[in-house]
Amino acid sequence: MISKFKGWPYTVRESRRAKKIIIKVSATTGMEIVIPFGYDRSRLPGILEEKTGWIIKRMRRVRNLNKLLKPSTITLKAVSETWKLHYEVSLTKHIRIIETENHGLYLKGPIDDPYKVASSLNRWLQRRARDVLIPWLNEESTKRSLPVNRISIRRAKTRWGSCSNTWNISLNRNLLFLNRQLVRYVLLHELSHTVEFNHSTRFWKYLVTLAPNAKQQNKRVRGSYGQVPEWAKH
């Protein structure tokens, strides 16, 4: 049964394992109150009143998160693309994304779940990053005669790229949110590790031959993670 508190719907669930009342606020399930088995439900309105401040803060946070995880547009600075998103609810288990002309993205499925939306968008971003970053790195590699063994695309929280001692390079798909100049710097930075597998003075001397403003660009890249939208971090 769904009840309301100050206009917000909530559900009540009994649990034999619960020893006290637990109030949960989620972007997907809304507000749920878990109570011990046999608890007197007539006491709930008074308890909710006592927790009003906390509930309001949580509900506002969830609403803001919903907006962040369900964007209306996506801008990929690295390739100068802005995609406009359209949402359509359907009774399917998974969200389907269809690309249209003029950079339109149609999402069809259980779009009321912002986490499923974010997950679907991340799969789309992964494909877009593969299509853009792998050929781009191969082009830079060939141009400078710096061979690469294998290139992988993934999401990382703190690193834009990495290079192993066997010349396997991994790139963060969220590079697409940075401007083209910074992305190119990251590619050249990782390629330089195929010559100097460290961050020694010799490494920086070599990198400067490829990217004259390497030190300044390195600082800019380190401070650029704020450009990644919230949905791309999930």
> What fold, for 73-233?
Zincin-like (3.30.2010)
Report how far residue 211's alpha carbon sits from residue 41's, in angstroms, rounded to the nearest whole number. Answer: 67
Per-residue model confidence (pLDDT) at position 114: 85
Residue 134 in this model has a pLDDT that exceeds 90: yes
Residue 160 in this model has a pLDDT that exceeds 80: yes
Compute the residue count for the chain.
Answer: 234
Report how far residue 45's alpha carbon sits from residue 12's, in angstroms, rounded to the nearest whole number. Answer: 12
Residue 93 in this model has a pLDDT that exceeds 70: yes
Per-residue model confidence (pLDDT) at position 2: 64
Locate the domains of the chain by residue range.
2-65, 73-233
Q: What is the pTM of this model?
A: 0.77
Residue 60 in this model has a pLDDT that exceeds 90: no
Report how far residue 149's alpha carbon sits from residue 196's, in angstroms, rounded to the nearest whole number. Answer: 16
Per-residue model confidence (pLDDT) at position 168: 98
Contact 176, 151 (CB under 8 A): no
Q: Which amino acid is at 157?
A: K
What average pLDDT does the segment 127-141 reach? 98
Report how far residue 223's alpha carbon sits from residue 230's, in angstroms, rounded to the nearest whole number. Answer: 16
Report how far residue 44's alpha carbon sits from residue 1's, in angstroms, rounded to the nearest whole number. Answer: 14
What average pLDDT does the segment 145-166 reach? 95
Greater pLDDT, 80 or 114: 80
Per-residue model confidence (pLDDT) at position 30: 72
Greater pLDDT, 194 or 62: 194
In order of 184, 194, 214, the CA distances from 140 in angstroms are: 9, 13, 16
Give me the DSSP letters along 160-204: SEEE-TT-EEEEEGGGGGS-HHHHHHHHHHHHHTTT-SS-SHHHH
pLDDT class for 76, splitting at 50, 70, 90?
A: very high
Per-residue model confidence (pLDDT) at position 29: 64
Q: What is the pLDDT of residues 206-219, one digit of tens each?
A: 999 999 999 999 99
pLDDT class for 99, splitting at 50, 70, 90?
A: very high
Q: What is the pLDDT of residues 10-36, one digit of tens each?
A: 889 999 888 899 998 876 567 889 999
In the chain, alpha helices (H): 44-50, 52-69, 114-143, 180-192, 201-210, 214-222
Query: Which pairs with CB-CB distance under 8 Å and at least 24 residues apart come from 60-69?
Result: 61/25, 62/25, 62/26, 62/27, 65/27, 65/114, 65/230, 66/27, 66/114, 68/229, 68/230, 68/231, 69/27, 69/114, 69/115, 69/117, 69/118, 69/230, 69/231, 69/234
Q: What is the pLDDT of residues 171-223, one digit of tens each?
A: 999 999 999 999 999 999 999 999 999 999 999 999 999 999 999 999 999 99
Per-residue model confidence (pLDDT) at position 64: 67
